[in-house]
């Protein structure tokens, strides 16, 4: 019974870190929230079904992929070219090494630079960079919703 409290506390801590990690780019928020679900397995009588865990794993994979690509998609939606999208993806990757600010500025600067290298005007490049930023915000929102869903499963299933 004492171990159940420890596992529950660890799961709760992982959920809190996960929710914070949605807004602090250096922390992989959804991954921590997902780990909270695994903290339920050692608890007596508190197991989550394999179906729930498979769905959670799939949702985590999809959200992580969407989060990585969201800025590039935003660039495209705001009139950016392939150069801007590629620049955005490169900026996102490079930004990982300069967290936390690099994760926000990387896609922006990457899309802007990619568009300029692709022959677009500064105005067009700025518009594409704004799309990259909005994509980043969308990805953050997706991660937050997934973490809330994992928290709901942790407490009510």
Binned at pLDDT 50, 70 and 90, residue 35 comes out as very high
Per the structure, the complete domain to which residue 52 belongs is given by: 2-156
Structure-block tokens of residue 55: 């769905």
Binned at pLDDT 50, 70 and 90, residue 42 comes out as confident
Q: Under a CB-based contact definition with an 8 Å cutoff, are residues 111 and 85 in contact?
A: yes
pLDDT, one tens digit per residue, over 2-19 is 888 999 999 999 999 999
Q: pLDDT at position 132, please?
A: 87
pLDDT, one tens digit per residue, over 74-133 is 888 898 988 988 888 898 888 888 877 887 898 899 999 999 999 999 999 999 999 988
Binned at pLDDT 50, 70 and 90, residue 46 comes out as low
Q: State pTM to two decimals.
A: 0.81
Q: pLDDT at position 144, please?
A: 96
Q: Under a CB-based contact definition with an 8 Å cutoff, are residues 11 and 154 in contact?
A: yes
The count of structural domains within the chain is 1
Please classify residue 123 by burial: count the beta carbons closer than 10 Å to its beta carbon, then call 0-12 exposed, 13-18 middle and 19+ buried. Answer: exposed
Binned at pLDDT 50, 70 and 90, residue 55 comes out as very high
Q: Is the pLDDT of residue 34 over 90?
A: yes
Structure-block tokens of residue 104: 């926000």
């Amino acid at each position: 019974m004492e171990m159940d409290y420890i596992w529950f506390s660890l799961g709760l801590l992982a959920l809190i870190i996960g929710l914070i990690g949605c807004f602090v780019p250096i922390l992989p928020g959804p991954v921590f929230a997902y780990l909270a679900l695994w903290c339920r397995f050692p608890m007596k009588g508190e197991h989550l079904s394999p179906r729930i865990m498979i769905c959670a794993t799939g949702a985590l994979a999809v959200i992580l992929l969407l989060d990585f690509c969201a800025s590039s998609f935003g660039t495209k939606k705001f009139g950016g070219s392939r150069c801007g999208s590629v620049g955005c993806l490169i900026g996102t990757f490079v930004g990982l090494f300069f967290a936390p600010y690099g994760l926000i500025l990387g896609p922006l600067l990457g899309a802007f630079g990619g568009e300029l290298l692709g022959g677009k005007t500064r105005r067009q490049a700025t518009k594409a960079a704004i799309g990259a930023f909005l994509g980043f915000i969308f990805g953050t929102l997706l991660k937050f919703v997934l973490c809330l869903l994992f928290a709901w499963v942790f407490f009510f299933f």
